[in-house]
Amino acid sequence: MRSSLLLALTLLCAGQAVAATVEVRVSGVTAKGKVNVAVCDRERFLKQCAYSASAPAQAGETVVTVKDVPPGTWAVLAYQDENENKELDRNFIGIPKENYGFSRNPVSRFGPPSFEDAAIELRDGANTAAIKLH
């Protein structure tokens, strides 16, 4: 009886999908608007990312949690949506007017970093990514 119960529990757990949770710690935040975070695979990097979340902006650091991300290689991006219009505002030549940043805090000289420069490995369970807004 006990071994059949153990077998049933093992099969039940094996059938469940694995997922990661990403606690994104965003620094350089002012107390205005929201902080939006997106978790992107290589294909959707800087486009419509599959996973996202937001939190009210807290001066200094804001923590945003993104749940149910499959383990693997991902890039995390964040920006402070000061006017809460759900987009990163840009000037007439395309330069962001709101603060933004990427996982691994890559230096961007002319344009955004590559996926490889921002990519991190997410494992099943809890993960943390630190991003400094610029």
- Residue 13 covered by a domain: no
pLDDT at 16: 52
**Which two structure tokens, joined as six digits, stand for 105?**
């805090």
Residue 3 lies in a domain: no
Asked whether residue 6 is domain-assigned, the answer is no
> What is residue 23's predicted lDDT score, i.e. its pLDDT?
98
CA distances from 109 to 13, 50, 56, 105 (A): 47, 26, 29, 12
Question: Is the per-residue pLDDT at 6 higher than 50?
Answer: no
Structural domain tally of the chain?
1
Alpha helices in the chain (DSSP H): 2-14, 115-118
pTM, 2 dp = 0.84
Separation of alpha carbons 55 and 125, rounded Å: 21
Over residues 113-121, the mean pLDDT reads 97
> Is 82 within the bounds of a domain?
yes
Q: Is residue 75 part of a domain?
A: yes
How many percent of the chain have pLDDT more than 70? 87
Would you state the torsion angle of the CA atoms of residues 61, 66, 72, 74, taken in this order, to the nearest 10 degrees? -50
pLDDT at residue 2 greater than cutoff 60: no
pLDDT mean across residues, the chain: 90
Query: Has residue 12 been placed in a domain?
Result: no
Instruction: Work out the average pLDDT over 88-109.
Output: 93
Question: Looking at residue 111, what is its pLDDT?
Answer: 86
Q: Is residue 96 part of a domain?
A: yes
For residue 56, give its domain range.
18-132
CA distance 108 to 27: 17
